[in-house]
Amino acid sequence: MSYEKVSQAKKIIIGSKQAVKALKSGEAAELVIAKDAEAKVTAELLRVARDTNTPITYVDSMRKLGKACGISVGAAAVAITK
């Protein structure tokens, strides 16, 4: 379900650093995080998402999340914008 949501979203921001910026600026409507991503990569994202009350959705695979984004590598996190 969440993979479909990402692939159908009009605008997404791929990657942890860019997602943090989107969360802080209020641009992100939802955060999607891969469960197999390293904790050190996702720790700040989770903190900022909780601080900004942004909904967090988890998916199983970085590789599948990257594929849903239309990229050929895995993605640890994706922000779906408003």
Q: How far is CA 14 from the centre of its chain?
A: 7
pLDDT digits over 18-38, tens only?
999 999 999 999 999 999 999
Within a 10 A sphere around the Cβ of 46, how many other Cβ atoms? 14
pLDDT digits over 42-55, tens only?
999 999 999 999 99
Name the DSSP class of 76: S
Instruction: Show the domain range for 15.
Output: 2-81
Copy the structure tokens of residue 29. Answer: 């409507």
pLDDT digits over 70-82, tens only?
999 999 999 999 8
pLDDT over 80 at 65, yes or no: yes
Number of domains observed in the structure of the chain: 1
Q: What is the reported pLDDT for 1?
A: 59
Q: What is the reported pLDDT for 2?
A: 83
- 74, 9 Cβ separation under 8 angstroms: no
| CATH code, 28 | 3.30.1330.30
